[in-house]
Amino acid sequence: MLNLPTDYSEQLDDLNLRALWGPQLKSLMPGIRPQPGTQGAHWKYRDVRPQLLRATELTTAENAERRVLALVNPGFGAMPVSAATPTIFLGLQIILPGEWAPKHRHSPTAARIIVEGEGAYTTVENSKVRMVEGDVVLTPTYHWHEHGHEGKEPMVWLDVLDIPITVAVGEAAFEPGGGVVTGTNQNDKSATVYTCPGIIPYRSPSEKRPEYPMFRYEWKRVRAALDTVAAYAGRDEPIHMMYVNPETGENLLKPFDFSARLLRPGETVEPKITSATSALLVQGGKGESEIDGKVFSWEQRDSLAVPCFSRVRHTNTSSSAPAYLLQVDDAPLMHKLGYYQEV
C-alpha cells in the first residue's frame, strides 16, 4: 500500500485517478513469468455426474433453460467469472429426453464436446447436427442455435466458451431468438461434403470460402485417424493431431485450438512448455497427468485444467489399451496478441 496523504488520495478519487508506482505497479507485473493464479485442476466425472442428476431433480429445463455445472479453477478465488482458466470456461450440461432449449445466440464463441449419451441434436444456423459421444460441435460467436433431446437417456456434454475473454473486454451478450426454428432445418451434410482429406467443393478464386464449413467433428473419425497414425509411426513419435477448418486449414474457433492425443499403453509424453493455458477431456482409457509436480489420476470423461508455463507429463497407466485426450488451448489467442512463447 502507498502511504499517501488523505487529502491527496481523496482528490485522486474525485478525479477517478489512482496512484500507480512502487508496490502498486509491481503487483500488476510481479515477475519474469506471468502469475495468473491458475492451478492444475482435475474434475472427476464420477463425482460430478451425481450432482448433474441432482440438478435435474431441483429444477426443470423450463425454469432453468439449461442446467450447467461450471468447472471452477480452485486458484481463482473471488474471480468474477467462473472459469477453468483465465480464458476458457468449461461447464458440464445435462439434458433429459424430450427437453429443448429455444433458439438463441451470444457473443462468446463456443463448442460442446459430447461426454455421455445419444439422441440429442444441436441446430446451428438451420443445420441440424447429431451429437454422438466424443464429437466436437461448434456454435460460433453470434450464430443462432438451439438444442433438443430425442433419445431415451440423459445426455451430458462439456461446454467450452471464451466467456472470460468477452467479459474482460465488455462484449458479453446473449440474445434469445423466440420461436422454434426446427422444421426449416436440414440435416447436417458437411460430413459427406468433406469426407475425403484434401478434397473440398470447387470454388472460383473470387468466391469467398465459408468461415465455418463444418459444425460437427465426429470422434469416431478422429479416433480412427489417431489409431492409423499410431500403427505406422515410430514408437518414440508422439501421436498428437489437430482439428482444422477443412476450407482454410486454420484452427476451429478464433481463440482456441482443438487437438487430440493418443497415448500408447505405458507411454509417457512431456508436451512443450508454452504460454498457452489448456483444458483436457479424457476421451478414453486411464492414466495420470503430472502438472507442475502435482499428479492427477484420470479416467474416461474426466476433465483437467493446465496453467500457462506448466511443466506437464501425461502417462497412460494401462499396459494393454491406448488412452485418448482431447485438448483445448488458447494458443491462437496468445499468438494473435503477441504473447505466445515456447520454453
Average pLDDT, the chain: 92
CA atoms within 13 A on the CB side of 219: 22
The secondary element (H helix, E strand) that includes residue 43 is strand 41-43
Reference 185, options 131, 136, 121; nearest CA is 121
Residue 134 has a pLDDT of 98
pLDDT exceeds 50 at position 322 = yes
| pLDDT value at 18 more than 80 | yes
Q: Whole-angstrom Cα distance, residue 193 to residue 236? A: 35
The average pLDDT across 187-201 equals 85
Burial of 10 (0-12, 13-18, 19+ CB in 10 A): exposed
Residue corresponding to grid cell 475473454:
165
Phi, psi (degrees; rounded to nearest 5) at 65: 65, -45
The proportion of the chain whose per-residue pLDDT surpasses 70, expressed as a percent, equals: 95
What is the H or E stretch that residue 45 is in? helix 45-58
- Compute the Cα dihedral for 246, 252, 253, 254 and give only its sign: negative
pLDDT at 78: 62
- Residue 257 pairs in a beta bridge with 329
Residue 163, helix vs strand vs coil? helix
Q: Report domain extents, the chain.
A: 41-337
Q: What's the CA angle centered on 30, arms 26 and 33, to 5 degrees?
A: 150
Q: Considering only CA atoms, give the Rg of the chain.
A: 22
Cell of 98: 424430450
pLDDT tens digits, one per residue of 287-296 = 999 999 999 9
pTM of this structure: 0.93
Strand order in the sheet with 120-124: 174-176, 100-106, 145-149, 120-124, 127-130, 186-187
Looking at CATH, the fold of the domain delimited by 41-337 is given as Jelly Rolls (2.60.120)
pLDDT-based confidence at residue 80 (cuts at 50, 70, 90): low
Q: What was the pLDDT predicted at 183?
A: 44
Q: Is 6 exposed, middle or buried (0-12, 13-18, 19+ CB in 10 A)?
A: exposed
> How many CB atoms sit inside 10 A of residue 273's CB?
14
Quick one: average pLDDT of 118-144? 94
